[in-house]
Amino acid sequence: MRSHFVRAELLGRPTRTLTGAISLAIGLALFLSLQAYGSGYREAARAPLAEIGTDIVAQREGDRPEAFEGVVFPHSAAPITGAEVDGMRRVEGVEEISRALFLWSFQDDDLVVALGVDPAADTGPGRLRAGVREGRFLTERDSGAAVVDASYAEQKKLKVGASVAVDGRPFEVVGLVDSSRAGQIANANVYVPLRDAQQLTARAGLTGANDVNMVFVTAQPARSAAVAQDIQGLLGKDALLTTPQSFDKVLGSTFTLIDRLGLLVGAAALLVAAAGLARTVTANLAERRRDVAVLRAVGWPRRSVTAQLTAETTAVTLLGLGLGVAVAGAVTWLLSRTEVTVPVPWELSPTPHFLAGGARQLSLTVPLDASMGPLLIGVAAVVSLGTAGLVSLFAARRAAGIKPMEAWRV
């Protein structure tokens, strides 16, 4: 094989060279772009739970409140006992658990959405400490203290040092916080120490002293699905479990189309592109029968002719691969400049349906983290080079076996 012959052949017939490379590049770009788009949506679906550093949110379905007076629970937040929480801790694969107590307090023709938070936890609502705008976050020593959502504080004209009531009990405002930093999950107006919230709900006859109604579970990645199943069995048929896969459904038909058909459509495009390249290679070699005859007549052995023709095809394939990756990279970059709005299921931050405007639909807007992994690029390269190599090797061997006198016949 002589490299200058390969270069001369490719540059001497630029139309044919570019046609083969571009046809492959289009299929490669479509394949890689679709996979990058799908991966971006999958990452977006994980964003709400990633914001609070957890993998599973465990709740229990209960009954609707008979009356909306005093302290009540939404029907998606029935009590989970302390013994059940201890059972979750013992599930194989569970790394960390944090607890919370979500409640509605109807008082003086007003509604206060409150959340009892474990100040010692670093996951779940404990992540709110990173969103403190004024004052400080709750500590384990606090009692009768509260952190208030900044928007709610502005609406109610509350400042650090003021007092806010939950079910008639006053709490001193020690900080203002941006609740969106918790991924819009367990979004509340007022955040109080978990012990204080448990006292409120126990006094109302809703829970025992150690009960909660939201449990945030961090699991080993390899055991995440199994942990969810074990917790489902522990809590029974009324269990409500939210995992990253739960958000796939709320992302809508666009995500379903891309996620389920993206790989199939992309793979089909890649195969069609590879088939098109193979057809181009075969036609090219058929047209060069006379060239092959000349090479054979001047003494080139069959293996040298085969290597030469295969090298030309490989060069065209590499050019198409480079163009396809470059185009897909540009498309992926453009996709990563966009944002995705992920709706948060109502049960994770419930609000009463009878309020003005109905139940509030919360959502989280995150960048579309589209990316092309090296594995996908490797798969595309292997398919392209493998297909082109096999076809060119087969066709080149046939071409190299032609007798010069046969090729020169008109």
Write the single-letter amino acid at 45.
A
pLDDT at 252: 58
pLDDT at 8: 60
For residues 37 and 76, membership in a common domain is answered with no
Closest to 312 in 3D by CA, of 17, 15, 14: 17
Lowest average pLDDT, out of 111-115, 135-139, 186-190, 272-276, goes to: 272-276
**Beta strands at 214-219 and 56-60: parallel, antiparallel or unpaired:** antiparallel
| Buried/exposed 191-223: b ≥16 CB within 10 Å, e otherwise | bbbbbbbbbbbeebebbeeebbbbbbbbbeeeb
What tokens does 182 get? 């918790």
Query: Alpha-carbon torsion 229, 231, 233, 239, what sign?
Result: negative
Map tokens 């609707």 to a residue: 64
For residues 102 and 229, membership in a common domain is answered with yes
Chain centroid to Cα 107, Å, comes to 40
pLDDT at 338: 83
Q: How many CB atoms lie within 10 A of CB 290?
A: 12
**Cα(329)–Cα(327) distance, rounded to whole angstroms?**
5
pLDDT at 53: 83
Residue 16 has pLDDT above 70, yes or no: no
What tokens does 198 get? 């448990």
pLDDT tens digits along 181-236: 666 788 889 999 999 999 999 998 898 888 999 999 999 988 998 999 999 999 99
pLDDT tens digits along 42-63: 777 777 788 888 889 999 998 8
For residues 192 and 219, membership in a common domain is answered with yes
pLDDT at 230: 94
Residue 178 has pLDDT above 50, yes or no: yes
pLDDT at 64: 83
Of 193, 212, 243, at which residue does a domain stop? 243
pLDDT at 183: 67
183 and 130 Cβ atoms separated by less than 8 Å:
no
Closest to 57 in 3D by CA, of 230, 198, 221, 244: 244
Phi/psi of residue 338, each to 5°? Answer: -95, 170
Q: Which residues contact 122 (CB under 8 A, 6 or more apart)?
A: 53, 96, 98
For residues 28 and 135, membership in a common domain is answered with no
pLDDT at 284: 64
Distances (CA, A) of 317 to 23, 284, 312: 10, 14, 9
**Cα(311)–Cα(301) distance, rounded to whole angstroms?**
16
For residues 116 and 229, membership in a common domain is answered with yes
For residues 378 and 399, membership in a common domain is answered with yes
The pTM of this model reads 0.73
Of 243, 278, 312, at which residue does a domain stop? 243
Of 220, 243, 266, at which residue does a domain stop? 243
For residues 401 and 347, membership in a common domain is answered with yes
Mean pLDDT of the 242-261 span: 67
Give the angle subtended at the CA of 132 by the CAs of 127 and 136, to the nearest 5°: 105
The structural domain count of the chain equals 2
For residues 24 and 72, membership in a common domain is answered with no
Lowest average pLDDT, out of 46-60, 88-102, 129-143, 195-209, goes to: 46-60
pLDDT at 1: 47
Q: Which residues contact 193 (CB under 8 A, 6 or more apart)?
A: 116, 117, 119, 138, 142, 143, 145
Q: How many CB atoms lie within 10 A of CB 155?
A: 10
234 and 91 Cβ atoms separated by less than 8 Å:
yes
For residues 394 and 321, membership in a common domain is answered with yes
For residues 294 and 360, membership in a common domain is answered with yes
For residues 210 and 319, membership in a common domain is answered with no
pLDDT tens digits along 257-286: 666 666 666 667 767 776 766 666 666 666
98 and 121 Cβ atoms separated by less than 8 Å:
yes
Closest to 64 in 3D by CA, of 361, 360, 357, 352: 352
Three-class DSSP labels, the chain: CCHHHHHHHHHHCHHHHHHHHHHHHHHHHHHHHHHHHHHHHHHHHHHHHHHCCCCEEEEECCCCCCCCCEEECCCCCCCECHHHHHHHHCCCCEEEEEEEEEEEEEECCEEEEEEEECCCCCCHHHHHHHHEEEECCCCCCCCCEEEEEHHHHHHHCCCCCCEEEECCEEEEEEEEECHHHHCCCCCCCEEEEHHHHHHHHHHCCCCCCCCECEEEEEECHHHHHHHHHHHHHHHCCCEEEECCCHHHHHCCHHHHHHHHHHHHHHHHHHHHHHHHHHHHHHHHHHHCHHHHHHHHHCCCCHHHHHHHHHHHHHHHHHHHHHHHHHHHHHHHHHHHCCEEEEECCHHHCCCCCCCCCCCCCCEEEEECCCCCCHHHHHHHHHHHHHHHHHHHHHHHHHHHCCCHHHHCCC
**Cα(300)–Cα(78) distance, rounded to whole angstroms?**
83
234 and 60 Cβ atoms separated by less than 8 Å:
no
For residues 352 and 372, membership in a common domain is answered with yes
pLDDT tens digits along 297-337: 555 666 666 666 777 777 777 888 888 889 988 988 888 88
Domain containing 214: what range? 56-243
